[in-house]
Structure 1
């Protein structure tokens, strides 16, 4: 029984830490949108999940709050619609690797938001096993992708000018 309680406390701390990392990622993703052609849309697209995940990081039971869940559901619906629109645009117009296309990077951003917010919505009080391993991996994945994209000079060469000026 004591071992189970200890593992539950550890998984709870890892869940909170993972949410804190994702809140930081979403905040950074929103911050770099200031020079985008449509910054207001993308700042909100990342600021909402940043606030929601920070709330879960600070107080996990907030995920059961009706206001928190309603905001999350509304944002998820908007992200799914945005992903469908970007996915259609990419399938009709993509000329190269989708990460080389601005719409492809935007789509990946919305997918990261959608997956993480879905995890937050469905997470139980304590996580364990494979679910916890997936959460930990996913909380580091966006940072690894950002690093990969940033150090890949071929990919940076294809960026539009507004993407080259901030970082």
Structure 2
């Protein structure tokens, strides 16, 4: 996030689910706590509203792959956060977890890595990166 113009915002957006997930890892029953439920619900709502706004913007202004656009990558991040927190919230109902929850967790975990590899090997996509993205690697 060193080279991102809105890094402070994204640090907060990603730190909240990281802390919520850490708490679930330390004590899975924390998802029943009123404070944990409230924070996760507010963050889900915030991410969903922001994602809808980004999706609307992308539908109106994007002429190529959404991953070519900074807003498209931000939208993917918000979708991942929302899905992950929803998965954590449902873990209190089935603490051991089911096969579907495990499959969803694996997909959510692997999606950023697979997307990054795709974007990195796609020369056309790399050429359209903004300057702050080209200096990352």
| Bigger fraction of residues in helix | 1
What aligned pairs does 1:1-167 form with structure 2 within 5 A after superposition? 33-123=1-91, 124-167=94-137
1:108-148 per-residue CA deviation (whole Å, 9 max, x = no partner) reads 11011111111111222121223322222322222222222
TM (norm. structure 2) is 0.89
CA displacement 1:49-105 (0-9 Å, x = unmatched): 111112222322222221111111111111011101101110111021101111111
Give the aligned length: 135
Aligned to 2:97, the other structure's residue is in SS state coil
Question: Structure 1: 5+ residue runs without aligned partners?
Answer: 1-32
Deviation at 1:151, TM superposition (A): 2.8
Q: What TM-score do the two structures reach when normalised by structure 1?
A: 0.74
The answer for unaligned runs of 5 or more in structure 2 is none
CA RMSD of aligned residues (A): 1.5
Distance of aligned partners of 1:143 and 1:54 in 2 relative to their CA distance in 1, 3 Å threshold:
farther
